[in-house]
Structure 1
Amino acid sequence: MTTIADPRSPRTSVRRSGPNLEKWGWIYMRVSGVVLVVLIFGHLFINLMVGEGIHGLDFAFIAGKFATPFWQWWDVAMLWLALIHGANGMRTIVNDYVLNERTRKVLVWALWLSAGFLIVLGTLVVFTFDPCLGVENSTTEWLIEMCAAQ
């Protein structure tokens, strides 16, 4: 009779009391994946199919979208979910393939720090976006007129 070897495990850990973070990470990946599909396809549909389609994408279109709270929150939700989803997936890969405990911890910390930095930066960009910033140096007439009207 042939015996199958036990699966390789990079670390053996004893189950601690408290919340099972791996289970919640697994659930987050499934839920955020479904929500991201809706957010991304909605984003693509509005940007590429409605109105003039891809030919209508310009600075004014983006400025108009970022002028409404609905689209600000849509894009921020997409940003947050995508970055956390990606960082959690990379964390899983690091946990599976990096055997050295110290290297694994450094890489996981680097993942979460970079994801956190990008989340903060992206959120600031979305909520502080001002199309009239630096307009005095612009050569675009419609932008100068729009900002002068404010």
Structure 2
Amino acid sequence: MAYGTAAVAKVDSPRSPYVRRKTTRGNYELYSWIFMRASGVVLVVLIFGHLFVNLMVGEGVHAIDFAFVAGKWANPLWGVWDLLMLWLAMIHGTNGVRTIINDYAQRDLTRGVLKSLLYTAFVVVVVVGTLVIFTFDPCPPNAPEELLASFCTA
């Protein structure tokens, strides 16, 4: 075959109307992108509220101990607040790392192993964190009295 005689792929004219091609992927990546923006905004509010209450109100960082956490989690609002912050942060972070893995892992096996490790870490952290929030006992038996919250009876 001589130079210049090979079959050339047809390129549409720049002025031709755009024809959307059907894809089988659906809108998962679009919804993932929208979720990242929305959860990022909610996380900013949750995190700064968390930091303000823990560091600015009262005695600041020096007051954070077991009794502080016990007193805070005695109120259901703060349990739900911290649970929502945990879940949103983990889903947001996992989705971001999933996107990075998809962008940079070239081999399917590597991508599969990395995503499996990512999803395993996600499940472990979310399950353990949720269990800690829901099973937290603010007044554990045989605890030193100076560490207990003020509402605990010794």
Match of 1:23 among 16, 27, 30: 30
Shift in CA distance, 97/132, structure 1 to aligned 2, threshold 3 Å: same
Rounded Cα–Cα distance in structure 1 between residues aligned with 2:115 and 2:147: 47
Following superposition of structure 1 onto structure 2, how do residues 43-58 of structure 1 map, counting pairs within 5 Å? Answer: 43-58=50-65
Rounded Cα–Cα distance in structure 2 between residues aligned with 1:113 and 1:69: 29
TM-score by length of 2: 0.78
2:97 is the counterpart of 1:108: no
The one-letter code of the counterpart of 2:127 is V
Contact kept, 8 Å, 2:70 with 2:138, in 1: the verdict is: yes
More helix by share: 1
Rounded Cα–Cα distance in structure 1 between residues aligned with 2:39 and 2:32: 10
Rounded Cα–Cα distance in structure 2 between residues aligned with 1:68 and 1:145: 14
Deviation at 1:144, TM superposition (A): 9.3
Deviation at 1:86, TM superposition (A): 0.7
Partner of 1:97: 104
The one-letter code of the counterpart of 1:97 is Y
Rounded Cα–Cα distance in structure 2 between residues aligned with 1:142 and 1:96: 48
SS of equivalent to 2:23? coil
Shift in CA distance, 123/65, structure 1 to aligned 2, threshold 3 Å: same
Q: What runs of 5+ residues in structure 2 fail to find an aligned partner?
A: 1-21
Deviations for 1:86-134, whole angstroms, at most 9, x for unmatched residues? 111111111011000121022112211211221111011001100333x
Rounded Cα–Cα distance in structure 2 between residues aligned with 1:96 and 1:142: 48
Deviations for 1:60-82, whole angstroms, at most 9, x for unmatched residues? 11001111110000000000010
Rounded Cα–Cα distance in structure 1 between residues aligned with 2:150 and 2:66: 15
Q: Which protein shows a greater Rg? A: 2
2:102 is the counterpart of 1:88: no
TM-score by length of 1: 0.80
SS of equivalent to 1:15? coil
CA RMSD of aligned residues (A): 2.1
Match of 1:118 among 120, 125, 130: 125
Tell me how many residue pairs correspond in the alignment.
133
